[in-house]
Amino acid sequence: MASDDRERKERRMSETFRAIRVSRDEAKTQSVDIVEMSTDDLMDGDVDVAVEATTVNYKDGLAITGRGPVVRRWPLIPGIDLAGTVLRSTHAGWQGGDKVVLNGWGVGETHHGAFAGRARLNGDWLVPLPENFSAKDAMAIGTAGYTAMLSVMALEDAGLSPDAGPVVVTGASGGVGSVAVALLSKLGWTVIASTGRPAEAGWLRDLGATEIIDRAELAEPGRPLAKERWAGGVDAVGSHTLANVLAATKYGGVVTCCGLAQGMDLPASVAPFILRGVSLLGIDSVMAPKPRRLRAWKRLAEDLDPAKLRAIATDIDFDGIVDAAGKIIDGQIRGRVVVDMS
């Protein structure tokens, strides 16, 4: 009996790991701590994953800094993306040793997330890691890049093609924007990149942008209709920026919307829709059905230039996550941040 107890204790000790935990006190004041946890502390799920890489998205920045209502269960491990190896599974679709990717599904919002050495998840939330990607490659893409791919697919599914004219990408220096620029240019589009960071113009041109415009051109209140400038757009900013993108979209054009960096409002008119037949397509990456996720990751493996992916990504380790969360909210990070959890 004593040896059994000792064995169980040693097994629990071997399965402890560091995690970032956000908590609230009775006054709803948020705190962020790096803690030691065990697998006994994880939430319900039928697949345990060793987290090998994760990333810091804008939403993760909001969760850690408390500047947005992302976390809805307390205390919680944040982190909406991970890639790793299955350790244990009672799910029919997965077995030990499988390489997997997770994006969204409320992980890091209502379910313990990626900023930990282990994750216990619903197997239905997972997709296989493409063979030509490492865990770090997948997190250089992450939810931001996967959302960019969903946006490109939506443009294509709506019938838009490169010969229709240029496409504008807002927030181009950010995660979604930088991957969108790389993808669209690889697929033959003429890409106009909107950014508030003039110093990144050369980097954006290296990713494939043909023209760089200052975000100030789009960020202020504008006319209901403007001169037709682009056939489509990928917007991660919202508010006046999205309204101005719509106002300058050509007849029959298509714009996708996936973010709110400037705001959740949309101070636009119906003019682009009823006078030019413009379509606005919402992109949801969190609850997207699995077939669409599989299609997006297959396309990413085919259409994303590995050299451009490396140019987009900056590597940090676990101890750099909290600092990176603040910087991404303050607009001090370009491209993607990859966290090596090894």
Looking at the structure, tell me whether residues 88 and 23 fall in a common domain.
Answer: yes
Least confident of 7-11, 95-99, 204-208, 285-289: 7-11
Whether 135 is in a domain gets the answer no
Q: Mean pLDDT score of the chain, rounded to an integer?
A: 95
Percent of the chain past pLDDT 90, that is, above it, reads 94
Q: What is the CATH number of the domain that holds 180?
A: 3.40.50.720
SS3 category, 251: strand
Residue 62 in tokens: 């909001």
Looking at the structure, tell me whether residues 190 and 216 fall in a common domain.
Answer: yes
d(CA 278, CA 272): 6
Residue 105 in tokens: 């599904």
Looking at the structure, tell me whether residues 277 and 153 fall in a common domain.
Answer: yes
| Residues in Cβ contact with 305 at an 8 Å cutoff, skipping those fewer than 6 apart | 182, 186
Q: Exposed (0-12), middle (13-18) or buried (19+): which is 115, by Cβ within 10 Å?
A: buried
Whether 163 is in a domain gets the answer yes
Whether 103 is in a domain gets the answer yes
Which domain does 85 fall in, by range? 2-129+312-340
Which amino acid is located at 135 in the chain? A
Q: What is the CATH number of the domain that holds 334?
A: 3.90.180.10
- Per the CB < 8 A criterion, the answer to whether 191 and 209 are in contact is yes
Whether 16 is in a domain gets the answer yes
Q: Give me the pLDDT at residue 150, please.
A: 98
Whether the predicted model's global pTM rises above the 0.95 cut: no
Angle at 231 between CA 225 and CA 233, to 5 degrees: 85
Looking at the structure, tell me whether residues 98 and 166 fall in a common domain.
Answer: no
* pLDDT tens readout for residues 209-226: 999 999 999 999 999 999
Q: Which of 237, 266, 282 is the last residue of a domain?
A: 282
Looking at the structure, tell me whether residues 54 and 119 fall in a common domain.
Answer: yes
The number of distinct structural domains making up the chain is 2
Whether 225 is in a domain gets the answer yes
d(CA 101, CA 279): 31
| Closest listed residue to residue 58, CA positions, set 225, 216, 178 | 178
* pLDDT tens readout for residues 139-190: 999 999 999 999 999 999 999 999 999 999 999 999 999 999 999 999 999 9
* pLDDT tens readout for residues 35-75: 999 999 999 999 999 999 999 999 999 999 999 999 999 99
d(CA 169, CA 183): 11
SS3 category, 169: strand
Q: Give me the pLDDT at residue 342, please.
A: 86
* pLDDT tens readout for residues 251-289: 999 999 999 999 999 999 999 999 999 999 999 999 999
